[in-house]
Amino acid sequence: MTCVVNDLAELRQQVSDGCRVLAGRDLAPGILGHISVRVGDQLLIRCRGPRERGLAHTTPTDIHLVARDGSPGAAGELAGGWTPPHELPLHVEVLNARSDVTCVVHAHPADVVAADLAGVRLQPIVGAYDLPGAALVRGGVPVYPRSVLINTTELGVEVADCLGSYPVVLMRGHGLISTGDTVAEAVLRAASVNTLAGLSLKILGAGGALRPIPEEDLRLLPDLGATLNLATAWRHELARLRPHEDA
């Protein structure tokens, strides 16, 4: 995805919408969590401001262009008391390591945290129920084992190394990072991981066992394409945020 200056207003809106979807899906409750988008050698990211209201109330004015060292990416970008999140190195180092990634989501979904702390390994326990989710965890999901704030370059590199070539990494006692070519893809991946974690906890809580679906069934699952899996799913998420707007 190539971003130019004329795209910034639209990208700010996309990041803002993504933050509100995270909150609406209980993936990042309260004031914690952030989304970034690569813009050349800089990034647009949800920043902290003097009137912080949390992810559910994010607007495009909360999204600012910053350099990878946290300085303003353009004149006035951090004027008025705006600061990048403490975990900016998390975004910077993932983007440094992954030229294929445009968007980085950091969220704190409770079911993901609880499942990992309980020793539950995410597996493709569903198929047609969540086709993207089944594909997402089919090859496993790495876990970063340290429950620390990713606020240094060194820690950011550790997380990026743990993520490797995977689309998602869990963070023990912390949350997750999901990546994508777009805000929609990265956010929806986080939602799928949380769905699988929640189902896993329910199954185990009911006294059942996790049974991955057979490989032959996984091979038969169709790829419904970006139109349904991303475009339609994202329109649904945005409609939930703005239910009274004309589609």
Active site residues: 87
Contacts of 201 (CB under 8 A, 6+ apart): 111, 114, 115, 118, 120
Inter-CA distances, 52 with 47, 56, 70, 82, 138, Å: 9, 11, 19, 10, 38
Which residue bears the tokens 């495009």? 60
Token readout for 52 is 């912080």
Strand, helix or coil at 46?
strand
User: b/e string for 174-201 if b means 16 or more Cβ within 10 A?
Assistant: bbbbbbbebbbbbbbbbbbbbbbbbbbb
CA–CA gap between residue 141 and residue 168 (Å, rounded): 7
Hey, which residues does 171 pair with through a beta bridge?
144, 175
The values of phi and psi at residue 92, to 5°, are -60, -45
CA–CA gap between residue 190 and residue 108 (Å, rounded): 10
Token readout for 121 is 């390994």
